[in-house]
Structure 1
Amino acid sequence: MATTYSSLLEYDQSVYFNASQYETNKASYNNTHAVNGLTNWTASSVDAVFQSVGLTPLQHYEKYGAFEDVNPSDLFDTSSYYGSKASQLTATTGTTWTSAQVESVFQQSGIDPITHYALYGASEDVFPTTKFATGKVTYTNADAIAASNDNRVDSLVTTTAWLFEQQTSWNWNDLASTQSNTLYYMFPTSAATVEGQGFSAANLSQFAGFNENQKTGAVEALTELSKITGITFVETTDANRANVYMFASDIGGDTSGLADAGTQKYKITVAVNSTYSTTADLRSGTGDHELIEHELGHALDMKHPFQGSVQLPTEQDNNNYTVMSYTTPSDTWYSVNSSIYGPYDIATLQYMYGTDGLGGNQGFVKVS
């Protein structure tokens, strides 16, 4: 049975703080800085000190470690979070902020990065950086991409990713040489426009263009993805240039949405069932926003966590961990309450794309 949490902060602390990993990271920090003149610190000796002063590992992080740039777990990089918040403040205030300034304000305010993320950062699209964004994952063809060997990621993107299973066998990172770090999206107004780009007419009946609220929700989801991965998404009205086409159509049965690759490389449709075309809001803060997040997750190669050879355990196969799950827990903190991608989504997206976008120094990189 899945654990329930009384608040988003309690949930975030359960996911983003790991006592064992924190004590290991703190030992490394102590050795680097020769704390107390010692360079032989271990996780056990750190834990002994915590106990002697009456602090739990989480309490120590909140009071001290967060301001020593010690990471609370492999899903949360403390110093990178300060940098992301500095970038957000610079963009929204018109005043240049540095990571050091943000860290100083946090310390003076008595708020650590995990608490800030739960209370403010999530709604500001200030996302954590995970260990999966630290380097390149090189491959020569679609079937040769290595697994991360971490179930939280491999349950959402297998060694043969979703788009790689299509006849055309491709990955968005292959576009870096021709489109740099940009993916183009459009909101087509006719089925003919989409069909002309190599997509089956069978999925285009009862076609309807997105209304303004649906467009807003889609752009909000793309903004979230951009903040997580560093990919730039640009709207276009040129069907030949577009990579992602978003609209409503009769995709069959009670399926709410569908992401589908056609016959051409680097093109995919994201469709909402036309049954919902006049009622689905899709904007952030609504229950329908998760629908567009889910389908755009597929568009960026994420799969369902309950399918394939690697799956999430039942207690984690829910929307508190990933928008790609079909299960909504009783205490949903992600993604309905905060309208953002869940922690395992962030880890997976950063494994595939890093935080520096297509063709950067992180994520999947094709080599000859």
Structure 2
Amino acid sequence: MPERETSLLGEEFDRYRRTLLAEVVAPGPAAVRRTVRLRRRKHLVAAATAALALLTGPALGYAALHEPAPPPGPVDPTPSVTVSPTPSGSASPTPAPSAGSGSPTPIPPDGRISRSQLLATPVTLPAWRAGPGCPTAGVRLTGDGREGTNHLLALAHGDVDSDGAAETVALVRCALGTGGPQQVVAFDRDAGGTVVTVGRVVASTIDRPQWLVAVDVRDDGVVRVQVGDIHPGGGWPGEWSQRQWRGYRWNGESFRQVSGPTSFGPNPHQADVAVTATDLVLTDAPDGSRTGSVTIVVRNTGDTAVAYVALRLDLPSALRPDGAGWAVCRNDPGTTGRPVTCDLSRLDTGKERRLTLGFRAAAGAGVGAGTAEVDVRPMDEGFDFLPDVGPADNTTRIGYR
């Protein structure tokens, strides 16, 4: 293209731009953003159009540039922008938790411990009421009840602390002589697998219950313990003990009783009788014999009636029962030899029986002065002796002369 035509074309473009810009109203922000988006799409089209105009020829291009410019058309108004209000109290929406977020729920340790495992593992037990005679720290339970050891009597398993895993409940006895105190203890494992002590469920007492018989765990985690009022031994058979099932639940700190009786009624096989007696003073009878009597009072001071009471007088064999006072006896005292015995019938609680029992020494029988023992013992319907709650007042001593 000749240099003059190029110069004229540039002048025409400058004049057109000055005229057009004076008439154009500046678009708003929305128009600007729209123009930016459209500019790139129109750039190639504008470039192609300009090239085509130049190729058509200088005359055509020049004439087109000198035609009057059309009045500028209306400018689209800037669209208003609607902003959604931010909810109060929240700076930004809370993202939904991802599937892998958060820590997994820890699996509780398995506290099911077998008998052989428990016997092979040193454990710590709650303190025994018997004191240092029963070991507690780092000791092995035994299966044979050797003297001075902690004897494992029974096991049960169940979820006692509501953690979703089973624990172990053990019935243990401190072996002292033929008996010893007992307690039920709960064990578990920690995260490292070590056996740990959860706590004591219940223990035997000097009063009641003296005997822990059996243990199990219910599905709801309650530990059930069968307890007996009196521990067998010393002439007391186990079938005489009253038994109850009591339930205990773990509250996060200790076991507390939640079901079953809390006390025992009077045991029909346990009694409390007492005796008092006067001295026996003998006097000479016309036939040369010597006679006298002793007054005996037998009392039932216990909580239950006694079917029978056995009275025993350990006097010299030369002194034989004499007189009508012996009619109260259910047996024949004259045939018992030494000591003389008299079986008394039922004695209700709080009642007493007063007896005047005579004795005679045959003429020429040498009966000097001395002391003798008078003793009473309660019996059941089968004439079996019953243990006495307070045996100290079952016996008294009298003098004779």
What is the TM-score with the length of structure 1 in the denominator?
0.22
Q: Which has the higher contact order (CA 8 A, sep 6+)?
A: 1
Instruction: Determine which structure has more spread, i.e. the larger CA radius of gyration.
Output: 2
> Would you tell me which structure has more helix in proportion to its own residues?
1
> Would you tell me which structure has more strand in proportion to its own residues?
2
What is the TM-score with the length of structure 2 in the denominator?
0.21
